[in-house]
Amino acid sequence: MACLRLNGYTLDLDQAQLFDLHGQAVELRPQALAVLLELGRRHGELVTKRDLSAQVWPGVSVTDDSLVQCVVEIRRALGDTRQQVVRTMPRRGYLLIADAAGTKPHDVQKVSVHRLATILVTAAVAIMLVWQFVLPGIAPGRREAHDTMVADVAVLPLRVLNASRERSPDGNGLAYMIASELARNPDLHIVSPLATAELRGKNLSPSEIAAMTHARYLVDGSAERRGDRLQLHMQLIDSGNNRIVWSGRFEPTAQDLPEVTEALILRISASLGSTVRESDRAMLRKRAPTSLDAHARVLRAIALTIAPSAEGLREARQELEQAVRLDPNYAPAWAHLGQAKTLLIFGHHDPGLGRQDLPRAIADIEHATALDPLLASSWRLLSIAIDSSQAPEAAVRAAERATELGPGDPDNWVALAVAQHHAGRTQAAIEAFEKAISWSPLHPPNYAVVAARLRYSVQDYENALRFARECVDRTPALGVCKAIWLSSLVRTGHAFEAEAAWPTLVGAAPSLQTYRMTPYNTPMALSVDEDLDKLRKSGTRAMAQ
């Protein structure tokens, strides 16, 4: 077969390309695509890890983790959350299961009627519960609770086009299905679709429904029956400014409905992740300080710390110190001041700051959490500032608090990944980081250093080398990037290249001569420090000659 259907996606073996439900090409890393193509050529049969490694990395010795990472990326691309398309055969390999083909129209129609009937029954039961417990005049106490409901997302009943046609879909039932699937994500808070159906029945506008439910985002759309297919038009709307964050069109058959629902859920979740960070920054901008000058200085300092340099960090510190003098009660100013100091201390970029000043930097961020306990970014910065070699669990707790307050912000999950990594919970760290990168289509510079750390910690030195190189290029002020890059070169058999690069790197960053990897005395730190010590000795011998 030249093409395979995988969870509604299409794998074209001739073109060596994966296409989504709308025929758009899906981007995969070359290694992940190579693994998928090899599984596709032998779909339905077990492909051993050894065979996959030999085909994808010929002549190169790689760990199982490289293959596992590719499989994770493939499953994420296919929306294979239940691992039913790419199945793991423990201790042996992987099995690719293509979608069933050749379903007859008559069978599809029967399945369609059955599914719609199930949805209608579910909706009917739900409506009965509404009449008994929610509607006005029956349970006033419940009505008051409904009016004070706070949630992130509300799924509105879908508008049914050409509703007079036979076997038209049920808009309430479809909304109920989408909301139920979204509610399985613990990071999202979903308004009950029963409540939204009740409000929509009163002819309230989407903005009025958002105001009554306190929903930050609305999922709105329409459904129309066309033969054996449903045509769904969906939108994700920011209720704060009525901006359409994301829109999509789907045309599933009954057989495709579960896969399309899964794809829809993933797209909505990913859109929330990519927009919440900017929304939170907008909220930060709306937190009016006493002085507009203090506000402007904080924003400038944030910009300087996104891709930090030694000079930029020193300038950021000056801006933030002036901001807290102008407005001592402005929490963001204190939080980012502590962050700037921490980066200067760890990077040895300010002769006036040393490790003895770290408690003061942490105290600045803690002061921000006291001024505004609900500002997720302060807890995130606190987690990053805490010396994980001394108090790893404290760093984890602060990051967990950040994810509780801002579950849709990928930056909070990256901070949690770093804290868990430092606490020795490597697998949990990898999972938290994968969630962050799946929600953030544009990765900030600091993501590269986290990826390099995690890849190195599981001895995937090839990918650690790649991410560390990206980190060196994008954030040259960070010594950790150079340290991981040099050590990864050594451990991938390129020690000569590392020795050649050493004098230039030390010339640009003299602190590399005494750099020690943190958290101290961990397996990763010992490995990196061992390689750096060898390079120092080699550099000393070269100078002596």
In contact, 287 and 299? CB cutoff 8 Å: no
Asked if omega into 90 is within 30° of 0 (cis), the reply is: no
Q: What is the DSSP string of 482-536?
A: HHHHHHHHHHTT-HHHHHHHHHHHHHH-GGGGG---SSTTSHHHHHHHHHHHHHH
Tell me how far the alpha carbon of residue 113 is from its chain's centroid. Answer: 37
Encoding tokens for residue 189?
A: 């808070």
Per-residue 3-state assignment (H helix, E strand, C coil) for 166-218: CCCCCHHHHHHHHHHHHHCCCCCCECCHHHHHHHHCCCCCHHHHHHHHCEEEE
**What's the pLDDT score for residue 143?**
32
Encoding tokens for residue 227?
A: 């033969």
**What's the pLDDT score for residue 196?**
82
**What's the pLDDT score for residue 285?**
43
Q: How far apart are CA 71 and CA 120, in angstroms?
A: 37
| pLDDT single digits (tens) 357-395 | 999 999 999 999 998 888 888 999 999 898 766 788 999
Any idea of the CA torsion for 225, 229, 233, 234, to the nearest 10 degrees? 110
**What's the pLDDT score for residue 415?**
92
**What's the pLDDT score for residue 104?**
33
Kindly provide the b/e burial profile for residues 101-115, where b requires at least 16 CB atoms within 10 angstroms of the residue's own CB: eeeeeeebeebbeeb
| pLDDT single digits (tens) 514-529 | 888 887 888 899 999 9
Tell me how far the alpha carbon of residue 310 is from its chain's centroid. Answer: 29
Element (H, E) at 315: helix 310-326
Sign of the Cα torsion 140, 144, 145, 151 reads: positive
Q: In the chain, count H helices and then E strands.
A: 22, 12
Q: Which residues of the chain carry a pLDDT beneath 70? A: 1, 61-65, 82, 90-91, 100-151, 163-169, 180-181, 183-188, 253-292, 307, 388-389, 408, 438-443, 539-545
**What's the pLDDT score for residue 307?**
64
In contact, 340 and 301? CB cutoff 8 Å: yes
**What's the pLDDT score for residue 72?**
82
CA proximity to 310, closest of 341, 349, 357: 349
